[in-house]
Amino acid sequence: MSLDSVVYTAQANVIGGREGRATANDGAIDLKLSTPKVLGGAGGDGTNPEQLFAAGYSACFMGALKLVASQQKVVIPADTTIEGIVGIGPVGQAFGIQVELKITVPTLDKALVEQLVATAHEVCPYSNATRGNIDVTLTIV
């Protein structure tokens, strides 16, 4: 898929890999990175790429959900949440990830939420980037 135009470009720099530091060129991000113990690291107080992916996908999907809802004149409640769960594990000799998005939209009819979520999944850039590459499960809570 090629973009018609680029309307925003994000830029980040990582030094030291999973045991390093991640920064954004505009200073908005400055994070210590650490590898979870279960993946052979020391653990600690840093974040990791899987947590960042979970947060990024959740935030992006929320934006897509709000967009498709607004196109249908539906207001997404302010207390709507999306919990991103990213799993990492072996795939043959390599590693892969899987994602579950747990979507909670209080006060809206479940059938409407299901339709909005399905449409948002078609619009969301993360969904489009991952489609056919990793398992993505959308759970409406």
Render pLDDT for 67-123 as a digit per residue (tens, 0 to 9).
Answer: 999 999 999 999 999 999 999 999 999 999 999 999 999 999 999 999 999 999 999
Q: What is the mean pLDDT of residues 26-42?
A: 94
Residue-wise pLDDT for 41-53, tens only, equals 888 889 999 999 9
DSSP codes of every residue in 108-138: S-HHHHHHHHHHHHHH-HHHHHHTTTSEEEE
Burial environment of residue 53 by CB neighbours within 10 A (0 to 12, 13 to 18, 19 or more): middle
Residue ranges of domains in the chain, CATH in brackets: 1-47 (2.20.25.10), 49-140 (3.30.300.20)
Adjacent-strand bridge partners of 11: none
State the pTM of this model.
Answer: 0.94
Residue 96 token pair: 């892969």
Contact at 8 Å (CB) between 10 and 22? no
Looking at the chain, the whole-number percentage of residues with pLDDT higher than 90 is: 94
